Amino acid sequence: IVANVLAGDYDSASTRKKVEELVASAPCVVFTWEASPFSQKALKYLDIAGAEVKNVRLDDPWDEGNPLRAELGKMVGRTSVPCVWIGGEYVGGFDGGVSEEKPGILELAFKGELLPKLEAAGALKKKKAD
């Protein structure tokens, strides 16, 4: 509800289209806030995992990010950040998600499922030849 209030009046269809375009624009897309500790942890640990991440900041500027956040909430069932997408699929946040299939990257990593997802999506950084 808070995300919808902060978003104010916006064109839901065009905002959803923009979210879909952003999600499709890279193999691993993370919607974040700069001041969110969980957003920073997600970016850090995805980097450690070797992922190339497209970071979409929802707080820069707020007037553009708030409608995106509200629409993400409608699409995935939660408005918290980070909001992590791998291969066009929502996988949850850092340490939580909306279901057992979308538990967040921390649980995916502990289950041994994060790296295979990143690899299948083509989201791992290319290793430099020696």
Q: How many CB atoms lie within 10 A of CB 120?
A: 12
Q: What is the pLDDT of residue 13?
A: 96
For 12-68, how does the pLDDT look when each residue is reduced to its tens digit (9 = 90+)?
999 999 999 999 999 999 999 999 999 999 999 999 999 999 999 999 999 999 999
* Amino acid at residue number 43: L
28-32: strand order across its sheet: 54-57, 28-32, 83-86, 89-92
Q: Decide: 33 and 58 in contact? Cβ < 8 Å.
A: yes
Query: Under 8 Å CB-to-CB from 3, ≥6 apart: which residues?
Result: 66, 69, 70, 73, 79
- Average pLDDT over the chain reads 95
Q: What is the pLDDT of residue 130?
A: 59
Q: What is the pLDDT of residue 28?
A: 98
Q: What is the pLDDT of residue 129?
A: 63
Q: What is the pLDDT of residue 4?
A: 87
